[in-house]
Chain A
Amino acid sequence: MGKKIDEALVRKVAKLSRLELTEAEIEEFTGQLSAILDYMEKMNELDTADVQPLAHCLPISNCFREDCVKESLGTEKTLANAPQREGEFFKVPKILEESSG
């Protein structure tokens, strides 16, 4: 199975997870995730070459509903939980840099 997780890999996974971890957390998680992943190696005892993956236990494939117009939540309800809003918008910090031209 994959190589044991080290601090560099923990930093990479934290970045993928969009989690800003403290140095203490990185150290703690490196040890704990290594131990958990070591345990998961147990799965390698099983030969699964001819086994189909099972993502889901129900024999359901595509579930389509009628394509019809229904009432939506509306602006006020939708924005009611917004951490920051401005008028009818969710407010977030600027994403694009100011351009000079």
Chain B
Amino acid sequence: MDELLNISCKELRDKIAAGEIKSTAATEAVFGAIKKCEPTVGAYLQIFEGEALAKAAEVDEKISRGEAVGTLAGVPIAIKDNMCTTFGATTCASKILENFHSPYNATAVGKLLSADAVIVGKTNMDEFAMGSSTETSALKRTVNPWDVRRVPGGSSGGSAAAAASGMCFAALGSDTGGSIRQPASFCGVVGLKPTYGRVSRYGLVAYGSSLDQIGPITRTVSDCALMMNVIAGYDPADSTSVGEKAAPVCDYLEKIGQPIEKLKIAIVPQFNAGADGQVRKALNEAINVYKNLGAEIIEVDMPYLDYAIAAYYVIATAEASSNLARYDGVHYGYRTAEPKDYIEVYTKSRAEGFGKEVKRRIMLGTYALSSGYYDAYYLKALKVRNLIRSDFVRVFERCDCIMMPVAPTTAFKIGEKIDDPLKMYLSDIYTIAVNLAGVPAISIPCGFDEKGLPIGLQIIAPAFSEEKLLRIARMYEAQTDWHKKRPVIEVKE
């Protein structure tokens, strides 16, 4: 990898601002990596080379004139393609939105633009963020940069693969049940799901509205903090974003290097037993690193975590079935060619425009909400959700954070689970409860298995404690070199 591509966003930003590196040079290096790696990796659905280079030149010029620039001035960044942008299309990797051009920018995207970031392109994902492998994308296949026969994880697989292979310096992802953390883990990068309400969802195409959250995917913990400094905060356009009075945002970068004194870490041995041996070994070694730093490890029981997948796939699909009712072939999106009546505009447009996993989830959610089944499934799941949340509340009364695996295995093979939806859902076991409880969690690189595939450590913290969570993550990162490892990508001739 080009040396220039190996530095962090923070270092790049500082050097661009100091005039030591040109944003144009960094942006050209990113497009060089894209030309080399993209034919193999397939991380992007759209690339904005001309616009990006123009923006980089504009930032360079501003700096040479001594003008003030934003927090991410000149830093090349990628956006998951379920965030609305007035440039390019916003496809959600679906056929139904393949040609949709948003009339407005998502708030998180607008904040990146205001911070003078250079937008490289929009990344591939599972269709409507429904999947754990990026295989449900209707538009493209993305592979894992560490092993092209394997999935990059999902649903933000394109963002994680792009960040891992130097095709951007950082990316935005979204996480409804693990969609930032699991691909970050599979691709050996850092991924943060913020507290529900911390980052505006305005302009994020809705999947499960009570669970969705935008967050950063980066190569270092500090870069995650830097990205949060830009995207976090109240937005009047999102009624579920949290106000400054209730939970003020802070400078996540300011104290990133300061360790947490008397750190108390909870672990859930019984729950972790379900993970592969090598994943458990990496987890134990990571916990030992904290122990050596003086942390106290407390074994806890979280009995309701075992029910998270069942509750999640009722709640998320119920919300999805309602959210996706808007795709009716009338106002925007795909419409069937020759409907014989107005009903067929709906039924055929949706049948032809949605992929199988999206249809399956709409069906499941519609069933769970339908008359006669509502109490048994949807209401029951909401009650179980409350129990799961109570598990977290109880543990956080006496611990600063919880540590567990991100996924039970490292990256699995392409095609391995795609025909068995339940098997795919079960792979979300460690990430899903976090979304149901609305708390923040991060995945950071903590080793490799025997096949050379990255393993992630998940750290979960109480609501709105991202500042502390990032500092805890940085304590480990400062002791280890896992985050410095880069995949060697087979170049297609």
Q: Which residues of A contact B (CB under 8 A)?
A: 1-2, 5, 9-10, 13-14, 16-21, 25, 29, 32-33, 35-37, 39-40, 42-46, 48, 51-58, 60, 63, 65, 73, 77-78, 80-84, 90, 92-95
CA distance A17 to B210 in the complex (A): 21
Q: In the assembled complex, which residues on chain A have CB atoms less than 8 Å from the CB atom of B425?
A: 36
* 13 A-B residue pairings within 8 Å (CB atoms): A2-B372, A17-B350, A18-B350, A32-B360, A32-B421, A46-B387, A52-B383, A54-B383, A58-B242, A60-B239, A81-B332, A83-B330, A94-B342
Interface membership of B250, Cβ < 8 A: no
Contact A58 B346 (CB under 8 A): no
CA distance A60 to B246 in the complex (A): 10
B345 touching A92 by the CB < 8 A rule?
yes
Given contacts A33-B360, A81-B101, 17 further A-B contacts (CB under 8 A): A1-B380, A2-B373, A16-B366, A16-B370, A17-B350, A19-B350, A20-B344, A25-B356, A29-B360, A35-B422, A40-B381, A42-B310, A46-B307, A83-B334, A83-B335, A90-B330, A95-B342
Residues B225-256 near A (CB distance < 8 A): 236, 239-240, 242
Q: Across the interface, which residues of B come within 8 angstroms of A17, CB to CB?
A: 321, 350, 359, 362-363, 366
Q: Which residues of A contact B42 (CB under 8 A)?
A: none
Contact B383 A83 (CB under 8 A): no
Q: How far is the CA of A2 from the CA of B367 in the complex (A)?
A: 11
CB neighbours of A40 from chain B (8 A): 310, 313-314, 377, 381
Contact B307 A43, beta carbon cutoff 8 Å = yes
Of the candidates A1, A16, A36, A81, the one whose C-beta lies within 8 Å of that of B364 is A36
Residues of A within 8 A of B345 (CB): 92-93
User: 8 Å CB contacts to A: which residues of B433-482?
Assistant: 436-438, 463
Which chain A residues lie closer than 8 Å to B331 at the CB level? 81-82, 90
**How far apart are A62's CB and chain B's nearest CB, in angstroms?**
9
Nearest CB on B from A26, distance (A): 10
B347 and A18 contact, CB distance less than 8 A: yes
Question: Contact at A36–B101, with CB atoms within 8 Å?
Answer: no
Report the separation of the CA atoms of residues A54 and B100 in the bound assembly, to the nearest whole angstrom: 34
Q: Mark B7-48, 1 if CB is under 8 A from A, else 0.
A: 000000000000000000000000000000000000000000
> Shortest distance in angstroms between A38's beta carbon and chain B's nearest beta carbon?
9
Contacts of B236 in A (CB 8 A): 65
Which of B329, B362, B389 lies in contact with A57, CB distance below 8 A? B389
Q: Does B146 contact A (CB under 8 A)?
A: no
Assuming A53-B386, A83-B332, A93-B342, is B377 touching A1 (CB within 8 A)? yes
Q: Does any Cβ of A come within 8 Å of B197's Cβ?
A: yes
Whether A39 contacts B422 by the Cβ 8 Å rule is yes
Q: Compute how far the CA of A61 lies from the CA of B300 in the bound complex, rounded to whole angstroms.
A: 33
Which chain A residue has the least Cβ–Cβ distance from B97?
A81
Residues of B within 8 A of A5 (CB): 367
**Distance, CA A20 to CA B339, complexed state (A):** 12
Which residues of B approach A to under 8 Å, CB–CB? 99-101, 103, 196-197, 210, 236, 239-240, 242, 304, 306-307, 309-311, 313-314, 321, 325, 328-335, 339-348, 350-351, 354, 356, 359-360, 362-364, 366-367, 370, 372-373, 376-377, 379-387, 389, 421-422, 425, 436-438, 463
* A29–B341 alpha-carbon span in the complex (Å): 26
Interface centre among B239, B367, B438 (most CB of A within 10 A): B367
Question: With the chains together, A83 CA to B61 CA distance in Å?
Answer: 42
A2-B377 contact given A57-B210, A58-B197, A93-B341, CB 8 Å threshold: yes
Asked, given contacts A2-B373, A40-B310, A57-B437, whether A13 binds B366 with beta carbons under 8 Å apart, the answer is yes
Interchain CA distance A20-B381 in the complex, whole Å: 28
Chain B nearest CB, measured from A59 CB (Å): 8
Structural contact, B196 and A57, CB atoms closer than 8 A = yes
Known: A52-B386, A57-B438, A84-B335. A43 touches B342 (CB 8 A): no
- Across the interface, which residues of B come within 8 angstroms of A46, CB to CB? 304, 307, 383-384, 387
Alpha-carbon gap, A51 to B381, bound state (A):
11
8 Å CB contact of B386 from A10, A19, A54: A54
Q: Which residues of A contact B363 (CB under 8 A)?
A: 10, 13-14, 17, 19, 29, 33
With A21-B359, A32-B421: A13-B367 Cβ-Cβ less than 8 Å: yes
A54/B385 contact (C-beta < 8 A), A2-B373, A33-B367, A60-B240 known: yes
Contact A43 B380, beta carbon cutoff 8 Å: yes
Q: Nearest chain B CB to A64's CB is how many angstroms away?
A: 9
CB <8 Å contact, B307 and A42? yes
A43, B330: Cβ atoms closer than 8 Å: no
| Contact partners of B346 in chain A: CB under 8 A | 18
Give the distance to chain B from A25, nearest Cβ to Cβ, in Å. Answer: 7
Q: How far is the CA of A52 from the CA of B379 in the complex (A)?
A: 9
- In the assembled complex, the Cα of A84 lies from the Cα of B349 at a distance in Å of 13
Residues B313 and A36 in contact, CB atoms below 8 Å apart: yes
Please indicate the chain B residues that have their CB under 8 angstroms from the CB of A54 in the complex. Answer: 382-383, 385-386, 389
Q: How far is the CA of A1 from the CA of B381 in the complex (A)?
A: 12
A2, A17, A60, A81: most-surrounded residue (chain B CB, <10 A): A17
Q: What chain B residues lie within 8 Å of A77 (beta carbons)?
A: 103
What's the Cα separation between A19 and B362 when bound, in Å? 9
Task: Report the separation of the CA atoms of residues A32 and B364 in the bound assembly, to the nearest whole angstrom.
Answer: 10
Residue from the list B310, B364, B384 in contact with A33, Cβ < 8 A: B364
C-alpha spacing A40/B99, complex, angstroms: 37
Across the interface, which residues of B come within 8 angstroms of A92, CB to CB?
A: 330, 342, 345
